[in-house]
Amino acid sequence: MPSKAPVFESWGRYPKLDVRVEPLFWTDEYPRGTRLPPSVLPVGMGRSYGDVGLLEGGTMLSTRGLDRFLHFEEATGMLRCESGVTLDQILQFSVPRGWFLPVTPGTKYVSVGGAIANDVHGKNHHVAASFGNHVPRFELVRSDGSKSICSIDENPEMYYATIGGMGLTGLITWAEVQLRPIASRKIRYTAIKFSGIDEFLSISSSSRSECTMAWIDCISQGRAFARGIYMQGDYSEVLEPKKASPKPRLAVPFDFPSWALNRTSMRLFNELYYRKQLRRQVTGLIDYEPFFYPLDSVLHWNRIYGKRGFLQFQCVIPWRYGRDGIIAILETIAESGMASFLAVLKVMGEIPSVGLMSFPQPGITLALDIALKPEVTFPLFERLAEMTRELGGRLYPAKDACMTGHQFRSFYPQWQQFEQYRDPAFTSAFWERVTADA
Amino acid sequence: MRRRRSQMESLEETPGERWGSSAKQPLPKTILVLGATSAIAQAWMRLLAPQGASFFLVARNAAHLDSVAKDLATRGATAVHVEMADLDDTSGHDELLERAADALGNLDCAFIAHGVLGDQAAGEKDFAVASASLQTNFLSTVSLVTWLANYFAAQHHGRLVVISSVAGDRGRKSNYIYGSAKAGLNAFLAGVRNRLDREGVQVLTVRPGFVATPMTAHLPQGPLFATPDDVARDILRAIENRRDVLYTPWFWRWIMALICAIPEWKFKKMDL
């Protein structure tokens, strides 16, 4: 670990690596001859949690300066923009015009390039699949200087490899995103309390909403085990004027001390969160901001985990073992007492992702933060990863910092096929880690 | 690249514009931007494009100019004209500016943002390097402003916005070549303002501090660095408020006041 704070950290702030960042301001700046060392990795907003967006001993190409819109078709909602444009910038632009993102993760502070590279998914996965399914075309620049347009028809192999390709196939300079129309900023919202995985599954199977997810208490055991709140929403169809969102005003100003988040404070949070909704079912109309991006209203929320950072665990367990598998994983997490407040359960749909290495698959996905206490967290994580492997599931590289090479290669047996499309100059700390012992 | 040609209606002049009252001035509609691929210029134009402004953009790199033009057109600009030019070559300035005024119908505002930080160490050894910096940062702007000042004076309205720098406030050993060009520019613009204010023309000297742009990408970025967006918003407010000299972000006025207050016998021994 370097002695001074690294110049760039991933969202989970672990691992801390000695990285070098070179900003790009124009799409024609890479590759620019001999000035750059051979290994590079594009990085956007740095919102992936672990080391998929980190590279030690090379140069990370920051795409934040590639933030231009190139074309927008008002009639069809097709947007072409540079790869560093963030989902927040898209919404600022598109919402007043009556268009919304086709798929959005739980934060809007990610770049289009990052959303493609990690093939992110959101609350509408069961009807819309993942982000890459809505990206018909993009341009890819390779380290040999070649530029190619990638789509289903043009360079299809590179198109499939780049979506979910973790930034390893080359630099995405621009992309087209097919937006979806909206009539208002409002979401018709229903929140239903549930107790246990069976009730979650029965609510899930009867839900007809476009956007669904559940907050789940991963700490409580006994009668309160696997209790949670199922949240579903649909875009309001009542036509209303649509203003752009104001800038968030709250930010966590400093790193919390490591003792601030402990078993008691987490238990209290989970208890209060579950109890604050008194009735079993609540419905209403809410703005899309608190519905899709509750955490974005507080900037730098990762600081509450302190300087040491945290790990995020996200698995998807296929239906074959889904119910029992998720219960077993939840029991393991609850017993450890290590979970925090941000645990999410969601049913993933059947529509396949287009990416060769995309994470989503049909089944149940569970995502949660685990504060980093080395002696407890790593063994727990190892156990959860092994359980995921035995249950035929997989972990999400965008959120991972410690799966083993063996685990990765059994989650993604197609990795060798993918390796053919990786640009020889592009690599990441994650990729080095999971392929080193192959 | 030529896009939809704008039909320009002449802006009505309010009394406040002439006498510098506190009333908010209308935003410019027809805008010439020299050095249009600069980060500050791009951020500033993005604030005006959604209001339906028309632009005439000048810069050296055709591909970069094209992506900036597309960005502005997508964000709602009424028209975006582009022309590739190296502004160091002053011989083409008059015709370039005439083409811009023709293309836009008239000029509400000229925004001059081109410039280079230059290599101070090389300039200390080689006059040619220092001279090139003065050519870009001072003389080329003098040439452009000569034409623009006469144009705006004849029109009795207009806004001339020039990006200078806090570096022009006092010569320091770390970048006095760049600083002296900006100091010359500050004095030149003060004179132009003195001449044009009575013609109803605003001359705004913008003195940014450290801004995170390609120009400063090689410097370690401390807490004093502002974003181009912050600076762009400040500039737009200064235009609306008809200001003369803008330090941006605001605290640079006080930092520079402090730096300028240091007596020369002390200053000459300092490392700044």
- What is the b/e burial string over A183-204, where b = at least 16 CB atoms within 10 angstroms of the residue's CB? ebbbbbbbbbbbebbebbbebb
Average pLDDT of span A298-317: 90
For residues A147 and A265, the model is more confident at A147
Are B67 and A65 in contact (CB < 8 Å)?
A: no
What per-residue confidence (pLDDT) applies to B18?
44
Q: How far is B121 from chain A (nearest CA, A)?
A: 21
User: Looking at the annotation, which residues of B are catalytic?
Assistant: 178
d(CA B97, CA B94): 5
What per-residue confidence (pLDDT) applies to B41?
98
Amino acid, res. B148:
L
Residue B15 lies in a domain: no
Per-residue confidence at B22, pLDDT binned at 50, 70, 90? low
Chain B residues with CB-CB distance to A26 below 8 A? 61, 63-64, 67
Residue B6 lies in a domain: no
Chain B residues with CB-CB distance to A86 below 8 A? none
What per-residue confidence (pLDDT) applies to A36?
58
For B192-213, how does the pLDDT look when each residue is reduced to its tens digit (9 = 90+)?
999 999 999 999 999 999 998 8
Chain B residues with CB-CB distance to A70 below 8 A? 67, 70-71, 74
Domains annotated for chain A, with CATH where assigned, are 186-401 (3.30.70.2520)
Are A26 and B71 in contact (CB < 8 Å)?
A: no
Per-residue confidence at A205, pLDDT binned at 50, 70, 90? very high
Residue B4 lies in a domain: no
Q: How far is B158 from chain A (nearest CA, A)?
A: 29
Which of A4, A7, A8, A26 is most worth mutating to test chain B (most B CB atoms within 10 A of its CB)?
A26
What per-residue confidence (pLDDT) applies to B14?
41
Are A71 and B70 in contact (CB < 8 Å)?
A: yes
Chain A residues with CB-CB distance to B214 below 8 A? 23, 25, 65
B165 pLDDT higher than 80: yes
Residue B254 lies in a domain: yes
Share of chain B above pLDDT 90, in %: 85
A112 pLDDT higher than 50: yes
Torsion on CA atoms A74, A76, A80, A85, rounded to nearest 10: 70
Q: How far is B213 from chain A (nearest CA, A)?
A: 9
A290 pLDDT higher than 90: yes
Please provide the average confidence, as pLDDT, over all residues in chain B.
91
**Chain B residue with minimum CA distance to A67:** B71
Are B39 and A71 in contact (CB < 8 Å)?
A: no
**Chain B residue with minimum CA distance to A72:** B74
The total number of structural domains in chain B stands at 1
A411: exposed, middle or buried (C-beta count within 10 Å: 0-12, 13-18, 19+)? buried
Per-residue confidence at B8, pLDDT binned at 50, 70, 90? very low
Phi then psi dihedrals of residue A353, to 5 deg: -75, 155
Are A26 and B67 in contact (CB < 8 Å)?
A: yes
Q: How far is A25 from chain B (nearest CA, A)?
A: 7
Residues 78-137 of chain A with CB under 8 A from chain B are: 82, 93
Q: State ipTM.
A: 0.92
B23 pLDDT higher than 80: no
- What is the b/e burial string over A161-170, where b = at least 16 CB atoms within 10 angstroms of the residue's CB? bbbbbbbbbb
Per-residue confidence at A411, pLDDT binned at 50, 70, 90? very high
Please provide the average confidence, as pLDDT, over all residues in chain A.
93
What per-residue confidence (pLDDT) applies to A338?
84
Picking from A25, A27, A71, the nearest residue to B74 by CB comes out as: A71
What per-residue confidence (pLDDT) applies to A50?
95
| Eight-class DSSP state of B211 | B
d(CA A66, CA A45): 12
Which of B67, B75, B213, B218 is most worth mutating to test chain A (most A CB atoms within 10 A of its CB)?
B67
Residue B12 lies in a domain: no
Are A72 and B74 in contact (CB < 8 Å)?
A: yes
Cis peptide, bond prior to residue B208, ω within 30 of zero: no
Picking from A23, A28, A69, the nearest residue to B74 by CB comes out as: A69
A62 touches chain B (CB under 8 A): no
CATH code, B119: 3.40.50.720
Residue B10 lies in a domain: no
A105 pLDDT higher than 50: yes
Average pLDDT of span B219-241: 91
Cis peptide, bond prior to residue A290, ω within 30 of zero: no
Torsion on CA atoms A298, A303, A305, A309, rounded to nearest 10: 130
Supply the range of the domain harboring residue B129.
25-267
For A358-385, how does the pLDDT look when each residue is reduced to its tens digit (9 = 90+)?
999 999 999 999 888 889 999 999 999 9
Average pLDDT of span A22-32: 92
Are B74 and A82 in contact (CB < 8 Å)?
A: no
Residue B56 lies in a domain: yes
Mean pLDDT: which of A65-79, A267-281, B217-231 is highest? A65-79
Residue B14 lies in a domain: no
Are A25 and B214 in contact (CB < 8 Å)?
A: yes
Are A70 and B217 in contact (CB < 8 Å)?
A: no
